[in-house]
Amino acid sequence: MKRKYLSLAGLTLAFAMTGGAADAWMLCREPSAPSCVSGYYEFNDQYAFDSCKSDVESYLSDVADYRSCLIDASNDAAEEANEVIEDFNCKAEGSSFCP
């Protein structure tokens, strides 16, 4: 019987793109944009301006953290998928020493 082995590159990308890592991504907290930049909010004084600027800077920092979390979660999912593919291919080869 001819066995078809799985490719690490194609399936890992497909796994990550189709939401296989969705559980890990749920651990990442998406930040909310500060309310002072939406709607009818106006900078009536220096304090309002400085406060909103601080909120925006904090938001940008949170976005960077969120992006990092998503990248880590995606990498973890790809690594797990690679391990599954390697295990499958090991079994497909008929080895009795597969993890």
d(CA 77, CA 39): 38
User: What confidence tens digit (pLDDT) does each residue in 15-36 have?
Assistant: 444 455 556 657 899 999 999 9
Handedness of CA 15, 20, 26, 32 (dihedral sign): positive
Structural domain boundaries of the chain? Answer: 37-93
Give the HSE-up count for residue 86: Cα atoms under 13 Å, Cβ half-sphere. 9
User: What confidence tens digit (pLDDT) does each residue in 58-88 have?
Assistant: 999 999 999 999 999 999 999 999 999 999 9
Q: Give the SS3 label for residue 42.
A: coil
| Residue 37 pLDDT grade (very low, low, confident, very high; cuts 50, 70, 90) | very high
Q: Which residues contact 42 (CB under 8 A, 6 or more apart)?
A: 48
